[in-house]
Chains A and B, each alone.
Chain A
């Protein structure tokens, strides 16, 4: 390839304030206008963005010790339980956790107006959070009960650690049954009356680096309005799925586990969500910079909505009971237009992920890099790629 740039060269330009940074939307027009080689020579970094519900998210918190000391057995933040099965005053609050007394789906469909994601949002917003903890008491930790009110400034550490974010691709959800169903893809009207999707398409991080060439362990990213890092592949990372000619996965595929200091994040980019009939979760904002090392990387970032397809999946039976059904694929350009065709029928599309917010993230990250306050990182280790031999496992049935 004619163009070769190193991470160090690009960072040197960022430090001098000379790096050319564009968003994953803007790059499309630039490549069309200037051609691959010229554009690859000029552009140093392409920024991506995504902002949507990501249930596999949460935060580790160290509350500091009480006097007398306590080894927390159970802990609640605004009535939402955080996992305390780690050291004395450490806990993990999960985005999908519900308050102890939530009516759930007892009156169907349940409202799920508050959960762990809402707690994290309020914590980041600097609001007061009610802390309750109980313990059995030991010689070293005699305290059996703590009740207090805290803010994020009162705790030692609070860091977001999300086991699975930024799904590379996702299903387009429909409902083949005769009744309305309530899912994590939102309300699905009966007899295929809407089709729900969740991706930022041409702006989405892993659609712009489909083979995880520059996104790996240690990659510095935009996370929740602050700076974070890719910590590992995400759970259910399954890169060896069928892919299009351009290398884009035709289904789920790669995921990321990400980490970052909650204290420097922004509540606008970590928002608690309520899915009727399903549960509570959190919208997470993620933006990943893609260094243009050569023409190949530029070609990846020039991906357009029309190049991206996602599988259409029935959520009345196909998904819940893992029944294979071939319902075809939806093109992301069509999904964004508001209508797609399923089995010859025109269907309204329901987005779950916010495209305007994804665009905003890509622009914020662009400004950070342009202003020299955010440098790109060479991955410490790569993520398992499309040639990995990963088998997608399920829970064994009828054992024990």
Chain B
């Protein structure tokens, strides 16, 4: 199975080689989509985990045991087709080809299931047709 998750770290946890353990001990394919980790600071890691069901669940148990808060990826990129002028600048910045140009028509399309919410497209869209939405977490 394959799934995208967001891991929130405390300052102490950010020192640990978490990805190493996920790969080595849980046999997971880890694809880091976005990360903000700094020594002695809180941070987060957006990643896609791929492996057998057992491996995936084992990996999540490991993360929870060491105190990492794991959440499903709940941010969403919305592409507003009515505002888009079809320039296609976004497509060249999209790492997963979720935003892509069909070369014959040169039309831009957006495939939500491919999007990893890296946010690269937000800055390069001159009409601001692309927006980031996220579910507000309840205060802990």
Q: Name A's B-contacting residues (CB within 8 A).
A: 51-53, 109, 113, 186-187, 194, 196, 271-276, 281, 283, 336-338, 348-357, 359
Contact = CB atoms under 8 A, between A and B. Distances in A.
Given A187-B123, A273-B126, A273-B127, A338 B86 contact: no
Interface stretch (B9-17, B25-33, B43-51, B99-107): B99-107
- Of the listed residues B93, B103, B107, the one surrounded by the most CB atoms of chain A closer than 10 A to its CB is B93
26 contacts: A52-B87, A109-B123, A186-B89, A187-B123, A194-B93, A271-B127, A272-B127, A274-B127, A281-B126, A283-B85, A338-B91, A338-B101, A350-B89, A350-B124, A351-B92, A351-B106, A352-B87, A352-B89, A352-B126, A354-B85, A354-B86, A355-B86, A355-B106, A357-B85, A357-B86, A359-B106
Nearest to B105: A356
B87 to A, nearest CB: 5
How large, as a class, is the contact surface on chain B? Answer: 10 to 19
Contacts of B64: none
A338 B126 contact: no
B90 to A, nearest CB: 9
A51 B85 contact: yes
Given A338-B92, A352-B89, A113 B101 contact: no
Contacts of B114: none
A196 B88 CA distance: 11
A271 B83 CA distance: 9
Nearest to A349: B92
B128 A274 contact: yes
Given A187-B123, A187-B124, A356-B107, A348 B85 contact: no
A337 B103 contact: yes
Contacts, number: 68
A357 B105 CA distance: 10
A51 B106 CA distance: 13
Given A187-B123, A337-B103, A357-B85, A194 B92 contact: yes
9 A-B pairs with least C-beta separation = A273-B126, A355-B106, A350-B92, A356-B86, A351-B88, A354-B87, A354-B86, A348-B92, A276-B123
Nearest to B83: A271
B93 A350 contact: yes
B92 A275 contact: no
Contacts of B105: 356
A356 B106 contact: yes
A275 B91 CA distance: 16
Contact of A336 (B89, B103, B107, B124): B103
Nearest to B100: A338
A276 B126 CA distance: 8
Interface in B62-113: 85-89, 91-93, 101, 103, 105-107
B100 to A, nearest CB: 9
A338 B106 CA distance: 10
A196 B124 CA distance: 12
Contacts of A355: 86, 88, 106
Contacts of B92: 194, 338, 348-351
A114 B89 CA distance: 19
A274 B126 contact: yes
A348 B88 CA distance: 12
A52 B89 CA distance: 12
B88 to A, nearest CB: 4
Nearest to A276: B123
Contacts of B128: 113, 274
B105 to A, nearest CB: 6
Contacts of A351: 87-89, 92, 101, 106
B93 to A, nearest CB: 7
A338 B85 CA distance: 18
Given A336-B103, A350-B93, A275 B126 contact: yes
Given A113-B128, A187-B93, A350-B93, A338 B87 contact: no
Contacts of A53: 126
Nearest to A353: B87
A192 B73 CA distance: 32
Nearest to B88: A351
B79 to A, nearest CB: 15
Contacts of A113: 128
